[in-house]
Amino acid sequence: MRGISKHFGQVHANVAVDFTLHRGEIHAIVGENGAGKSTLMKILYGLYQPDAGEIFVDGRAVTISSPRRAMQLGLGMVQQHFTLIPVFTALQNIVLAKEPRKFGALLDYQQAGEQIAALAAQLGFDVPLNTPIESLPIGAQQHTEILKVLYHGTDILIMDEPTAVLAPQEVEGLFNCMRNLKSEGKSLIIITHKLDEVMAIADTVTVMRRGQAVASCPINDTDPTTLAEMILGEPVIPTSVTREQTTGTTPLLRLENATLSGNSDTTRRQRWKKVFPGEIVGIAGVEGNGQTELVQVLTGLRQIDSGTFTLNGERIAHIPADRHRHGISLNDRIDDNFIIGHHKHSRFCRYELLQRKSIQRYALNALDKYQIRVGDITDPIRTLSGGNQQKVVVARELEAQPEVIIAAHPTRGLDIHAAEFVHTRLIHARNRAKAVLLVSSELDELLHLSDRIAVMYDGKIVGVVKPSETNKQELGALMLGLNSNR
Ligand SMILES: Nc1ncnc2c1ncn2[C@@H]1O[C@H](COP(=O)(O)OP(=O)(O)OP(=O)(O)O)[C@@H](O)[C@H]1O
């Protein structure tokens, strides 16, 4: 890609970007939220047209007018938010738009199924091909996306933050798959905010800052500190927050012997849970072990079948795991998204009328505080980069002075700087005697923030440990149900 530029209104998302990918290379793209990474890749995949610049594939100048054209050129993309059809099976999704036929007209799923099962086995994927996508865990959905892209004959695979939704164990599986594809001569582009992942998987790294590609080098010529500095454009100064001694003794949130029937016939049994004021309780677990249901109960989205659940706080913040479904209203304005759920507050609404000026002032203030860069505050929130959308959710929830904070993967998709900012805010909330329940798939985040970590396995809390008295190995074992004697 040479001299690629793209603007949206006032925002210059890409400014004269040069980007080169070699055959058989894994190339990482890093940069702050809103730096222009997704835009560059969407241009390569034909989702956006550049204002200026040229694209060459195999040395040939090409115009990529649509994803269909991109696919013809051997380009495939797994986007931040999957594009699968929930009610279709994995197999139906994979073959969509390239259905195998026999006798010219009849669909031949069997032949396609065999071919795809062989491909899945080769990559080490375990995808139940005949299950509807909506019933599959997120890791299997991602495998389906990858299989779909490869089934369509991809030489260049683009993945936008593929690890953001994966548990640590699944990340290793994805990396193995990437290495396999590379050894077959395929070329891969991965966008990620995690610099240890860049160091582990990439051959080359390109750094983007404010729409420009500011550096590109072999991975052996750099290190995480240098990369972080290039991303920010200034030396990284770690912030430190003091964890104050807090003394509350009345639990703000308590579950006792609570049971909840799952969607299938499993019974979720929460043995014990209480969160004192001024405490961060981390919830660790491999996805699908009851964390989602726990959050649903705590936020009132589902009722328990038996046992007790008490909540002593009045104001509860909820940072949901799936921001597109539960966190924001994609087609609504950015400023309106800042007050969803608080819109009846006298500050924003009088005589049943929204107070536009006051809402805008509030939103502008939050944008500034959380360093969210936007073109126009009245634009639909879907025009923001993924990380900036997440920042809006976090800002809205934390700025409402909640007493209890239920945060599921609050830093998912955030750059290092923004993630650190959110961590600081959660610790501040804790120091001010708020109760925080933090669900995260990142053990480092849990160990860094939590006062206690509860590990979930098969719908139960199988252990509660203090970060100072445990380590990743022990947590990992508990998460796999191997050691539940604590
Ligand atoms: N469809 C669009 N309409 C308007 N603005 C857009 C659109 N798509 C992207 N932008 C803007 O372009 C800029 C770059 O966004 P982009 O999604 O490329 O960033 P990114 O580096 O991928 O960020 P993140 O790490 O948060 O995903 C942002 O300021 C974003 O708001």
Q: What is the pLDDT of residues 187-219, one digit of tens each?
A: 999 999 999 999 999 999 999 999 999 999 999
At residue 412, does pLDDT exceed 80?
yes
Task: Confirm if 144 and 90 have CB atoms less than 8 A apart.
Answer: yes
Instruction: Give yes or no for residue 274 having a pLDDT over 80.
Output: no
Q: What span, in angstroms and rounded, lies between the C-alpha atoms of 286 and 486?
A: 18
Which of the pair, 204 or 242, is modelled with greater confidence?
204
Both tokens of residue 4? Answer: 């690629």
- Alpha-carbon distance of 215 to 113, in angstroms, equals 43
Indicate the top mutation candidate among 39, 41, 392 to test ligand 1's pocket, ranked by most ligand atoms within 8 A of CB. 39
Higher pLDDT, 251 or 349: 349
Mean pLDDT for 343-348 is 87
Which range of 50-54, 341-345, 351-355 scores highest in mean pLDDT? It is: 50-54
pLDDT single digits (tens) 88-147: 999 999 988 777 766 666 677 788 888 899 888 887 788 899 999 988 877 788 889 999
Q: Which residues pair with 8 in a beta bridge?
A: 11
How many angstroms does the Cα of residue 126 sit away from the middle of ligand 1? 33
Residue 13: per-residue pLDDT: 95
The string of pLDDT tens digits covering residues 416-451 is 888 888 899 899 999 988 899 999 988 889 999 999
How many whole angstroms from 376 Cα to the centroid of ligand 1?
13
Determine the pLDDT at residue 241. 73
Rg (CA), the chain: 23
Beta bridge partners of 94: none
CB-based pocket (< 6 A), ligand 1: 8, 11, 13, 31, 33-39, 373, 375, 383-388
What is the predicted pLDDT for the residue at 393? Answer: 94
| Model confidence at 484: pLDDT above 60 | no
DSSP lists the bridge partners of residue 216 as 206
pLDDT digits (tens, 9 = 90+) for 222-239: 999 999 999 988 877 766
Q: What's the rounded Cα separation, in Å, for the pair 226 and 221?
A: 10
Nearest Cα to Cα of residue 84 among 93, 74, 92: 93
The C-alpha atoms of residue 106 and residue 342 are separated, in whole angstroms, by: 54
Distance between Cα 346 and ligand 1 center (Å): 33
- CA-wise closest residue to 136 among 94, 75, 190: 94
- Sign, CA torsion 177/183/186/188: positive
Asked whether the predicted pLDDT for residue 270 surpasses 70, the reply is no
Residue owning the nearest CA to atom 25 of ligand 1: 33
Quote the CA–CA distance of 6 and 29 in Å, as a whole number. 17
| pLDDT at residue 265 in the model | 36
Nearest CA to ligand 1 atom 1: 383
User: Does the pLDDT of residue 486 top 50, yes or no?
Assistant: no
C-alpha of residue 39 to centroid of ligand 1, in Å: 6
Q: Looking at 1-5, 111-115, 204-208, 249-253, which range is the least confident one?
A: 249-253
Alpha helices in 80-137 (DSSP H): 90-95, 109-123
Burial of 186 (0-12, 13-18, 19+ CB in 10 A): buried
Q: What tokens appear for 395 in the block?
A: 């800002």
CA nearest ligand 1 atom 28, residue: 34
Give the mean model confidence (pLDDT) for residues 390-414. Answer: 91
Is the pLDDT reported for residue 264 higher than 50?
A: no
Whose alpha carbon is nearest atom 4 of ligand 1? 383
| Ligand 1 mutation target, pool 330, 374, 384, most atoms within 8 A of CB | 384
Average pLDDT for residues 6-16, to the nearest whole number? 93
DSSP labels, 18-76:
-----TT-EEEEEE-TTSSHHHHHHHHTTSS--SEEEEEETTEEE---SHHHHHHTTEE
According to the model, what pLDDT value does residue 361 have?
A: 93
CA 64 to chain centre: 28
- Give residue-wise pLDDT tens across range 276-285: 888 999 999 8
Q: Which long-range contacts (CB under 8 A, 24 or more apart) does 307-311 make?
A: 307/255, 307/256, 307/257, 307/258, 307/259, 307/270, 308/254, 308/255, 308/256, 308/257, 308/258, 309/254, 309/255, 309/256, 309/258, 310/251, 310/253, 310/254, 311/252, 311/253, 311/254, 311/404
Distance 41 CA to ligand 1 centre (A): 11
* First-to-final CA distance of the chain: 55
Q: Is the pLDDT of residue 460 over 80?
A: yes
pLDDT above 90 as % of the chain:
50
Percent of the chain with pLDDT over 70: 94
Which two tokens mark 50? 């550049």
Tell me if 283 sits within 8 A of 253, measured CB to CB.
Answer: no
CA distance 141 to 135: 9
Distance from residue 374's CA to the centre of ligand 1 (Å): 9
Q: Which residue do the tokens 């759920």 mark?
A: 341
Residue nearest to atom 7 of ligand 1 (CA): 383
Question: For the residues of 252-266, what is the DSSP string, one character each?
Answer: SEEEEEEEEE-SSS-
Q: Which residue has the tokens 């925080």?
A: 436
Pocket test for ligand 1, best of 5, 6, 11 (most atoms within 8 A of CB): 11
